[in-house]
A and B are shown apart, each in its own frame.
Chain A
Amino acid sequence: MIKEMLTGLYAGLREFAGTGAVIAFFAVSVLVLILTANGKVKERALLALSFVPACGFAVSEFLSAAVRSQKKTAHKLAIALTAVAISLLAVFSSGKSVISPEFTERAENPVHVPDDIYSAMQFILQDGGNCSVLVDPEWSAYFESFSSSFTVTGHKKAAGFSDDEGVLNFEMSKTTPDMRKIASIARRNGCTYVVLPDDIWPEVPITKFGYETAGEFGSCIVYKEVTSP
């Protein structure tokens, strides 16, 4: 049990350490917490329990130390600016921005889902009947979060990730996905609808494999299974 716990901890550490410099930043912060303790080791070490404030404390301590060490005004200003620059660099290189250019587009609807997908989801729900949908794996979270009526095929890697979804992920990562495979996956999983982006260039469109265009919503196209009258 202990061995498994430690293995899990190590695996988790590797997963996070491999994807963001924030772990390194935090490790440096803990070092700062201990080195600048000045007789208050215990309480400052306890601040390490709170991840973000610990990093904030390290930045504050670094800036204070840099400003305090200088006596001449001009040097003091230069050192202070350098310290601020280093601190900002440390903070900004530890992740990527939540508020970056691609995220500064205003949400067009109250549920903060891209408007094209929002319209497609509403169309399918209003169309009635079976809401079993095969979607681009990038969009599956939107569908599942929007309504529990949707039965979604097309998850990204997750628990219960099926072989079909593996093939779908692979096909959708290609510029020219094989629509025969996608249509057969949709049919095998009982999907009445297939929702795909318009920026894919299949050699043969899915409309040749038993699905017809039911609606186009900006960059999002909804196909519906052709059934006998």
Chain B
Amino acid sequence: MIRAAVFFVIFYILAYFLGSWADVLSAKIRSERSFVFTIAFGGCIEMLAGMLVCLLPLPVKTAAAASAALVLILAVSGFIVSRRILQKKEKTVLKFPGYADAALTAAAIALLIFEIFAVMTFRTEITEAIKPVRTATFVFDSGRTMAGDPMMVFIGMLSSVFGCHPLEFIYSAAAPVFIVLYNLCYIAAIDPVLSGREKTVAFIAAELLTLRGFQSAAASAATLLLCPAGTWVYIIHGICPVASALLIRYVNNLPETAEEEAIVPDDDPEEEWDMKKHRIVNARNLAIALAVLAAVLVGAVAVLNNKINKLYDVTVSLERDMSGACAVFEYSGSGGKTDGYLLKTSDGKITFIGGGGAENANSLKAFLEGYSSTVDTWYVYSEEDDDAGAMRELTSSGAIKADRVYVIDRKEITGL
């Protein structure tokens, strides 16, 4: 409980300061500053910064220190930049979301508390949801971060810092932090398009959906209450609403900007076409181009990832087929002539025929060890040293273990 409280307080203090970047963005797009949007934006950025650092293969303590340093740098720089920008602009007030109906608001808060309580208290038997946690467990056990599911590596790092198992961390300290954050993201998205009671009703409906929707087997990874610390949950319940909120705020202020531009008098109708005023390469077009590029890149990565996975599956099945089929390998002795054959049967058993004299011992040992150090059945052509010398040398020294050794009577059948 203390651990959960400490994590909650630290996370949201940092989220508030990181949210200064949201204030900077709000000022740039001439939108009102919103407390909820600030915290939601800051929380998402905080997690993103942590995840980015965790993708580097580092000892957990180093990764934790680097993550903390990055978050602190971003928070402090955001705070300083926002103070400077907001001083230059007209005085802006941090807006809290207004809710007209106290009963509905209380119901929404009660639902939120129930969600947190349910995740922290009840057990789940939908195992698909906890499958990605193995990455976090690996980080926790090995004490190193690695390239993998970024959120799970981040969770592994955090659970190491807090000294508890990743599953315990997810269902205790992380659950209230993440569930509150994602609900703040919902409010941030709803806030600019609705007001008063309607806003509360929409929020309650969204909360009910987190309890009901998404629970198909295919979408369990995106279900907030099943895996509050999942990557897909972060994208769908965190990034998407915040991006939506930011775009709505931007678009909300576009008409005013257009009117302002329309009001600006045209000083000189005969003025020549000013390339600086009508640049094709402006911030908006650049942003659109970057967005398109990012979408194409994401698509390309998805396609390539799909292809690599298919290639991997084919390789695995090919390897399985090759190791599952019967195979024959030829052994050439010291004289360069064929002195034996190795048979690898479909059940993995090794049979060797031949071997030659003791002078072949070293080369035969190297040959056999390429397949197995145990020969299940060894056939030699005779008990003479010329044919069984290598076998005797290897089995008596213990270099190769032979379960059974037989002599083949190489008597030719003639007159057929």
Chain B min CB distance to A55 (Å): 6
| Interface contact A53-B189, CB-CB below 8 Å | yes
Which residues of A lie under 8 Å from residue B254 when comparing CB positions? 42
The 8 A CB mask of B169-195 against A (1 = contact, 0 = none) is 001100000000000011001101110
Rounded to whole angstroms, the CA-CA distance of A184 and B279 in the bound complex is 72
Which residues of A lie under 8 Å from residue B309 when comparing CB positions? 159
Which residues of A lie under 8 Å from residue B208 when comparing CB positions? 88, 91-92
Q: Does A59 interact with chain B (Cβ within 8 Å)?
A: yes
Q: Which of these, B134, B138, B202, B236, contacts A56 with CB under 8 Å? A: B202
Rounded to whole angstroms, the CA-CA distance of A25 and B137 in the bound complex is 36
CB-defined A-B contacts under 8 Å, sample of 18: A22-B216, A42-B251, A47-B244, A52-B186, A53-B241, A55-B209, A56-B205, A60-B205, A91-B205, A92-B208, A98-B225, A112-B123, A112-B168, A145-B133, A146-B167, A147-B137, A148-B142, A156-B127
| Interface contact A59-B202, CB-CB below 8 Å | yes
| Interface contact A56-B190, CB-CB below 8 Å | yes
| Interface contact A92-B202, CB-CB below 8 Å | no
Rounded to whole angstroms, the CA-CA distance of A108 and B215 in the bound complex is 24
| Interface contact A60-B123, CB-CB below 8 Å | no
| Interface contact A144-B171, CB-CB below 8 Å | no
| Interface contact B215-A98, CB-CB below 8 Å | yes
Which residues of B lie under 8 Å from residue A25 when comparing CB positions? 213
> Chain B binding site: helix, strand, loop or mixed by DSSP?
helix
Which residues of B lie under 8 Å from residue A94 when comparing CB positions? 209, 212-213
| Interface contact A113-B211, CB-CB below 8 Å | no
The 8 A CB mask of A80-97 against B (1 = contact, 0 = none) is 000000011001101111
Chain B min CB distance to A67 (Å): 10
Interface stretch of the complex, out of B20-28, B74-82, B295-303, B363-371: B295-303
| Interface contact B205-A20, CB-CB below 8 Å | no
| Interface contact B193-A47, CB-CB below 8 Å | yes
Which residues of B lie under 8 Å from residue A8 when comparing CB positions? 302-303, 306
Chain A min CB distance to B347 (Å): 9
Q: A19-B219, A95-B216, A111-B168 are in contact. Are A103 and B248 (CB under 8 A)?
A: no
Which residues of B lie under 8 Å from residue A163 when comparing CB positions? 320
Q: Does A142 interact with chain B (Cβ within 8 Å)?
A: yes
Rounded to whole angstroms, the CA-CA distance of A108 and B136 in the bound complex is 22
Rounded to whole angstroms, the CA-CA distance of A57 and B194 in the bound complex is 8
The 6 A-B pairs at the shortest CB distance, nearest first, are namely A56-B206, A19-B216, A50-B241, A60-B202, A59-B205, A141-B127
Q: Which of these, A103, A110, A139, A144, contacts B122 with CB under 8 Å? A: A103
| Interface contact A96-B193, CB-CB below 8 Å | no
| Interface contact B166-A145, CB-CB below 8 Å | yes
Which residues of B lie under 8 Å from residue A43 when comparing CB positions? 192-193, 248, 251-252
Rounded to whole angstroms, the CA-CA distance of A162 and B168 in the bound complex is 31
Closest to A61 in B: B198
Pick the most buried of A48, A57, A102, A160: most chain B CB atoms within 10 A of its CB: A57
Which residues of B lie under 8 Å from residue A147 when comparing CB positions? 137, 141
Chain B min CB distance to A146 (Å): 7
Rounded to whole angstroms, the CA-CA distance of A87 and B300 in the bound complex is 39
Q: A49-B240, A99-B118 are in contact. Are A110 and B172 (CB under 8 A)?
A: yes
Rounded to whole angstroms, the CA-CA distance of A46 and B214 in the bound complex is 21
Q: Does A64 interact with chain B (Cβ within 8 Å)?
A: yes
Q: Which of these, B137, B165, B201, contacts A110 with CB under 8 Å? A: B165
| Interface contact B141-A149, CB-CB below 8 Å | yes
Q: Does B276 interact with chain A (Cβ within 8 Å)?
A: no
In which size bucket is the chain A interface? 35 or more
Rounded to whole angstroms, the CA-CA distance of A66 and B309 in the bound complex is 50
Instruction: Identify which of residues 28-64 in chain A touch chain B, using a CB-to-CB cut-off of 8 Å.
Output: 40, 42-44, 46-53, 55-61, 63-64
Q: Does A198 interact with chain B (Cβ within 8 Å)?
A: no
Residues of A at the B interface (CB closer than 8 Å) are 1, 4-5, 8, 15-16, 19-20, 22, 25, 40, 42-44, 46-53, 55-61, 63-64, 87-88, 91-92, 94-99, 102-108, 110-114, 138-142, 144-149, 156, 158-160, 162-163
| Interface contact B240-A57, CB-CB below 8 Å | no
Rounded to whole angstroms, the CA-CA distance of A58 and B194 in the bound complex is 11
Which residues of A lie under 8 Å from residue B199 when comparing CB positions? 60
| Interface contact B213-A91, CB-CB below 8 Å | yes
Q: A1-B299, A91-B212, A98-B223 are in contact. Are A144 and B137 (CB under 8 A)?
A: yes
Instruction: Identify which of residues 228-262 in chain B touch chain A, using a CB-to-CB cut-off of 8 Å.
Output: 236-237, 240-241, 243-245, 247-248, 251-252, 254
Which residues of A lie under 8 Å from residue B215 when comparing CB positions? 20, 95-98
| Interface contact B171-A111, CB-CB below 8 Å | yes
Closest to B347 in A: A188
Q: Which of these, A4, A22, A104, A142, contacts B214 with CB under 8 Å? A: A22
Which residues of A lie under 8 Å from residue B359 when comparing CB positions? none
| Interface contact A56-B203, CB-CB below 8 Å | yes
Q: Does B312 interact with chain A (Cβ within 8 Å)?
A: yes
Rounded to whole angstroms, the CA-CA distance of A48 and B141 in the bound complex is 41
